[in-house]
Amino acid sequence: MGQSGSSMVKKMVSPISNMFGYNTGETSPELVLSRYGTATPFVYKRTSSMYFDEDGDLAHEFYEEVLDRRSRRYRMKKKKHNLIPEGEIELAIPRLNCNLPIVLCEAPVSVR
């Protein structure tokens, strides 16, 4: 059990340590940068979930009032057409990539 756990940790940590140039046979930083490019574990942009409508208003969802013919009452109908996505937005604070294969904090196990 102990050996399988430690080998699993080595497998999880080795891609990260290799990405930053630790524990590799390569000695020059140029080789490390050429191998991995400018890969970083941080995310600086994300795709927005908001949309623009014809008037230029920005929101997550748009609704319009529609007159119901049978009950003669107005109801709200979700608007799905003529919406333009906002696109990518810059994050004020860089976030960690969700695919980063490391454990950031391990909670202590409480035995009762």
* The amino acid at 108: P
Residues 52-99 have pLDDT tens digits of 999 999 999 999 999 999 999 999 999 999 999 999 999 999 998 888
Residues 41-51 have pLDDT tens digits of 889 999 999 99
Structure tokens at 96: 């960690």
Question: 24: how many CB neighbours lie within 10 A of its CB?
Answer: 14
In this prediction the pTM is 0.53
CA nearest 16: which of 98, 102, 106? 102
DSSP label of 58? E
